[in-house]
Structure 1
Amino acid sequence: MKLSQFGPGALVAAAFIGPGTVVTASLAGAEFGYALLWALMLSTVICAVLQEMASRIGVITGKGLGENIRSQMTSPWLRILFFTLIIAAIVVGNSVYQGGNLSGATLGAKEVLGQVPLLSDWFAQGWPLVFGVLAAAILWQGKAKFIEYALITLVLLMSLAFIGTFLLTDPNWLGVADSLLRWRWPSDSIITVIALVGTTVVPYNLFLHSASVANKWSGDEGVKNARTDTFISIPLGGLISMAILATAASAFFAQGIVIESAGDLAVALAPLFGDSAKYLMALGLCAAGISSATTAPLASAYALCGIMGWKQSLTGFAFRAIWATILVLGVVISSLGLSPIKVIWFAQVANGILLPVIVGFIWWLCNQSTMGRMKNSVVGNAFAAIIMLTSIVLSWKSLHHVWLSITS
């Protein structure tokens, strides 16, 4: 498989390694050391299997997940259910999360460029606009290959930054291996484990992936290419996430250092491992913010256009209007330092409901006659059953956590 044939899988990797993943993995490493590396490894396996099924649907049917929902769900009530969940979880959710993506990119850039006199005063409000315009420029090109190359570049940049930072922290390799081979649940770690799975297995990536491969490949050979792309890109993304967690474990857990936000990460590394570690971490955070700020609006446009029956063209008016709206909202939220807690809670509830519903739909569709010889195997269905159970548990725990947050 040539390098030019990669792409959709890299979009997914670029999407789930955002500032939220950086913070979640770092907090997990700082609080529990290497102990939860297994959770990220398991999350990566679940993500790869689920994304492979979604991509297979896209290749065989020639349609994205949103289009398949629209064509398969003949009941008006089911269509309304999916439409409501997609609007709430993906469109509204990505709008508020977009502010965090741009803020993360700004925090990373601040550590690298914040000492430049003419730039330092601009970071509070100006840089979210700069990164928003950059994401818009990537998407406005309207060429799938250009978008794929841009995001592949960002994934490679994150690999260099986060894995490089990990190596600079002089990790305990025996501790890393022990965590991957012996799965343990430290006390009070259940919410962190759920967060690690939740930040890797993301509903909107299923829409992004299936629509992207539907426009790129077809037939049995297309399924083969999509699988290769998925099973290289997703594990690379998982490796980056594990490197972030292990970096925090090496740097902060052993030293008893407490971190509370993304802004603490790079700053706290400098006294321990020098400016090289600080700048690499900051560069990775900036790249993570830009990659997620680009893929979140793109996924929202694919999902909404698909479910509404609108043309899923990168240059279409409706498609561009959707991603542009989400980008603008993200810039406003980030620039003004807003924290729309109630809207975020609403989006989390919708995501908690959407995940098992979407997993169930993908599992069902992968066993239909429309998939031909590419239907799920017995082994594939066994994996799907485990993932379905995991998504239900994850959904229940997520909803319970949101409920406790609201009522406390």
Structure 2
Amino acid sequence: MKRIPFSRCATQRLASSTPRRPSCIHNVAPHNHRIQWQARLQTTVATPNDGIAEMMAEVEEVPAPESTSKFPSRSPSRKPLPLEHLPSPHPRAAAQSIKLAALRSRLSLPERFPLQSLARTLVHPSADADPAFNNASLSILGANLLGYYTTEYLLCNYPRLPMDVVFAAHDAYIGPKALALIAREWGIETAAAPGGEVDPGLLQFKRLRPGSDLPAALQRQLPWKWEKTTTHKIVNTDEFGSNVKPASAHALQGTPVPVEEAAQSFVRALIGSLQLHLGTPLVKRFFRDHFLSRQLDLSSLFDFRVPTRDLSRLCAREGFEPPVARLISETGRLSRHPVFVVGIYSGKDKLGEGAGSSLQEAKIRAAAAALKAWYLYKPLEVTVPSSTENELHPKNWKPNMVDCGEVIV
């Protein structure tokens, strides 16, 4: 059976097959004609250079034709519009952008990755509604790839993690706030307002005014209700445990969005574009270097309500001897700040140890430490499913450990 390539899953083809925007750089109005856009040009105008300057020196002012099309100036039969009337920069301007070249170098991307595709990942659907020039389709592909790589990493390396912790770890690695933080660390700058004269190296979107309500399409709620069971969250929710579907590109067209929404859309679109242009091996290496390399303390994501009861049920399920708490050491019992060290034992095996200002507190902490040691078990040899898909250096499949699940209380 042949494997379907990822390039067929994308709705928009890139590189040589990318739809060409009409040639309007040769019809740009002189700079003195754009006084009405002066406020936006002060912070978003493209960096002048020899290539753009030469093209702009040869142009003549062309008035904007009347058009009833949904996406004006996209048809070759129509007269091209000046740059100021385009919703996003012309693809030809990407080759002259210093910001795009610096971003590609900063991310250590190969030169064969086209700057036109990198510029497209920076255009949010709220800035340009045309799906041929925004990052909506690339963002969908990148979101699925990020979810797949993160899921296989967590489930194969930590097979005993509870689902609530898996959802929290997903949000910590590839959640909206995490992706927005990654984009800011990459040095992504935002444009004051989108437009055709804006530098293609700036993140373009319609800004949400301060104090405005969040659009309904972006409001997400976590199902932490009493009737929402773990099975319901696994089957009917996304990788973050949310039962609200992500906002579609159609719902965000022309809708002002916060900076975090545009930033996470860019990161996801970049992953999808890398998959189409460079292939799976480079995308996995990029994901390992920029996402899995971020330090995440999984032990801090646990929140046990009654750890002693959970530990007793765990031992009963696994056939261990009932856990017993024993005092290991103490100091200052009659002082204002006593310290007790308690260990949890199952027969002769020590399951966990904890310290507290009272015997009860030390016992609870010891039980929580024993549960964390069980759930954070990590096998020595792990083979993730995507490692067998590498065409250059495929790995032989080794079955991973499958745990029977968390303790249900």
Q: Bin the TM-score by the shorter chain.
A: under 0.3
Structure number with the higher strand fraction is 2
Structure number with the higher helix fraction is 1
TM-score where L is the length of structure 1: 0.23
Point out the structure with max Rg over C-alpha.
2
Give the number of the structure with larger relative contact order, counting CA–CA contacts within 8 Å between residues 6 or more apart: 1
TM-score where L is the length of structure 2: 0.23
